Amino acid sequence: MKIRRRTLLTALAATPVLSTVTAAATATVTATPAAAAEQASNTALYANPAWTEGTDWGRRSRRHLVDDQSRTGRAPFLRSTVIAPHGGGIEGGTSELCLAIAGYHPADLAPTPAAGPVHDFWMFEGLMSGGNGALHVTSTHCDDTIARSLCAGSLNVVSLHGCQPEQAGLEPGAAAVLVGGLNSTFRQYLMEEFTAAGIRAVTASGEEEIAGIDPDNICNRTLLGMGAQLEMTTALRTAMFAPGKNTVADRATNLLPPFWTFTTATRRAIDRVEAGQAVL
């Protein structure tokens, strides 16, 4: 039986027990300030008086400057955007991966590697000590103005998510990444790079949300009308951070080699898809 993301996250939001991946940044436990029902959109969430930006949730993004004032030369055009719609304590580890894949160290935002390249990025993060699942907005309903603007101005988008193996029809405890989205070429490169890096990669299929095949999914709201979506199982993400340090506060400074292996493989796939795209 397939488990829908909405059903699973609603159940998680309703229980006081948190996994290590979604553990709180502090030990203090406070009550969830709103019902566990999933939010209809980012707009609805932002307007909800039960939560406060900067305390219960936050957003981070970077749009790189394109300054071309020359008649004879041409400034580089950043073709790709990396997003994490459910970062922080919602789907643990996706914020840190978003920054690293975009080319910035999660701890201090230093360009990593120093020579680049860098990509635009956006993330929405749950910052509460518990119940962050209640902040989940499905990717088809993501209407954050900055997120949509960045994606609409990019040729490529890779959207990062966390999932349970059961949602993908995998055995319990499986460490794997599900590769989805409407850009078949991008998907192919991602599958090849993950496999070459020793990461178990599975073609996402079945549930539309997991497969990332809805045109309204934020990953597909690009200049090309298609992008890529990565669903990483809990076991895969847990292995990326030091034991006991898999929290909102500690993850960025406790990265293990599997984190960088995944980051490098994803960046290589981005390089490959960009190499085949002419910017006229």
DSSP symbols for 20-63: STTB-SSS-----SS-SSPPS-HHHHHH-TTS-BTTTEEEEEE-
Residue 163 maps to a domain: yes
- CATH of residue 95's domain is 3.40.630.100
For residue 1, being part of any structural domain is answered with: no
Environment class of residue 163 by beta-carbon count within 10 Å: exposed (0-12), middle (13-18) or buried (19+)?
buried
What is the domain extent for residue 227? 78-124+139-275
The one-letter amino acid at 129? S
pLDDT in tens, 35-87: 346 789 999 999 999 999 999 999 999 999 988 898 888 877 889 999 999 99
Total number of domains constituting the chain: 1
Task: Tell whether 144 is covered by a domain.
Answer: yes
Q: Is residue 7 part of a domain?
A: no
pLDDT of residue 37: 65
pTM above 0.75, yes or no: yes
